[in-house]
Amino acid sequence: MPLTLDHLRRYAIARSLFKPTTLMRAIHKLGFVQADPIRAPARAQDLTLRHRVIDYRAGELERRYPRLALEEDFFVNYGFLPRAHHALMHPRSARQAWTPTRWKQAQAVREFIAERGVVHPREVDAHFAHGKTTNWFGGSSNASTQLLDGMHYRGLLRVAGRASGTRTYAVREEDVPVDAPGIDARLDALIDVIVHKYAPLPDASLGQLVGYLARGVPQWEAARKPALQRARQRLQRARVEGIDWLWPPDERADSRRWKPDDQVRLLTPFDPVVWDRRRFELFWGWAYRFEAYTPAPKRRLGYYALPLLWRERVVGWGNLAVVDGALAAQLQYVAGAAPQEAAFLEGLDAELARMRVFLAVD
């Protein structure tokens, strides 16, 4: 039987929405969890993990992070990843070179942090009085904050945790082993992380994601294109309805094991199932857009629309918020009305009940 879009859709859903497990196992299976500061009704990383971690609660990753073998850093986007994956990207060189004066400042700050263990940015600012500087958005911010960001990006510091949402920092010791793999092997491994998380991928989407690796490994820009070509050669490939699709070589996209369940799920805009907007339209026949940064009058779906998945279909979306201690849900449907099957209506009630437990609201 030839491979169809139905096979690919079932494969994408079932392999990503695996049986819930422990937090670390889930992150290892995902390879990377994208983070976003917007809380509507919870942060993206929490909304992603709640479907994949047993009894997960909003904020659990942030609470447990200091005790876990994880790093908060850039990959294809900003988020959380196992230390083994993180190490593949370092030592990292930023696109913008620092002056000798800047490096001297960074070394002084690193010594200050090494003496104290973990520091809050305001401690650095109070001690060094670096003053103010213009940030990326044209506004004013503490120069110490920008210096810490740059030190973190270059691998001099690591995020030790969060204090009321603000990153705290510790010194990152260089841990590259003598027998560390070369650049090509590292890029191949990083691309495999991408493919494992987002497969099956249209060929164009894989190219886009490998382009996003410029955020994680800007120092290897010239090596990314050959790495993409190697990936296209080692991955499984099939042409379905005029599109070239790619997925890991050790998986069968048409296997009967890929069978989505009947559960109704509200997914974050950054969930692996819906992240690739190109694939989304191919699978579900309508355009999903993330509109948090779209002016309100121009929004079609809402500020933070959560795609509503049931079985093999994204049947609509929901905008959720906690209002006066209770969950408020505004749901809309592609067909104009909710599916009237009892299984969907019961599943939706169960999903909203799970959301209330996850958010700890009535």
What whole-number distance in Å separates Cα of residue 19 and Cα of residue 289?
28
pLDDT per position as a tens digit, 65-115: 999 999 999 999 999 999 999 999 999 999 889 999 999 999 999 999 999
CB atoms within 10 A of CB 124: 24
Given this model, what pLDDT does residue 140 score?
40
CA–CA distances in Å: residue 182 to residues 71, 205, 261: 22, 26, 42
Given this model, what pLDDT does residue 131 score?
55
- List phi, psi (to 5°) of 163: -120, 105
Q: Which residues contact 273 (CB under 8 A, 6 or more apart)?
A: 12, 13, 16, 17, 267, 307, 309
CA–CA distances in Å: residue 115 to residues 11, 102, 163, 193: 50, 20, 20, 36
pLDDT interval class at 182 (50, 70, 90)? very high
H or E element at residue 301: none
Instruction: Determine contact, residues 246/12, Cβ cutoff 8 Å.
Output: no
pLDDT per position as a tens digit, 124-139: 999 987 555 544 444 4
The structure's pTM equals 0.93
Strands 236-240 and 243-247 come out as antiparallel
Q: Name residue 307's beta-bridge partners.
A: 317
Query: Is the model's pLDDT at 56 over the cut of 70?
Result: yes
Q: Which residues of 349-358 are buried (b: 16+ CB within 10 A; e: fewer)?
A: eebbebbbeb
Given this model, what pLDDT does residue 133 score?
55
Given this model, what pLDDT does residue 136 score?
44
Describe the crossing of helices 100-116 and 121-128 by its angle, rounded to 10 degrees: 120
Given this model, what pLDDT does residue 135 score?
46
Instruction: Determine contact, residues 142/121, Cβ cutoff 8 Å.
Output: yes
Instruction: Determine contact, residues 243/200, Cβ cutoff 8 Å.
Output: no
What whole-number distance in Å separates Cα of residue 46 and Cα of residue 28?
15
What is the pLDDT averaged over residues 315-342? 96
The distance of Cα 362 from the centroid of its chain, to the nearest Å, equals 29
What whole-number distance in Å separates Cα of residue 349 and Cα of residue 351?
5
Query: Is the model's pLDDT at 173 over the cut of 90?
Result: no
Q: Does domain 100-171 have CATH number 3.30.110?
A: no
Q: Which residues of 331-342 are buried (b: 16+ CB within 10 A; e: fewer)?
A: bbeeeeebbeee
What is the pLDDT averaged over residues 347-357? 98
Query: Is the model's pLDDT at 29 over the cut of 80?
Result: yes
Describe the crossing of helices 203-212 and 183-198 by its angle, rounded to 10 degrees: 130
CB atoms within 10 A of CB 162: 16
Query: Is the model's pLDDT at 179 over the cut of 70?
Result: no
The residue ranges of every structural domain in the chain are: 100-171, 264-359
Instruction: Determine contact, residues 34/215, Cβ cutoff 8 Å.
Output: no
Query: Is the model's pLDDT at 176 over the cut of 80?
Result: no
What is the distance between the terminal CA atoms of the chain, rounded to a whole angstrom?
49
Describe the crossing of helices 183-198 and 221-234 by its angle, rounded to 10 degrees: 60
Tell me, what amino acid is at 180? Answer: A
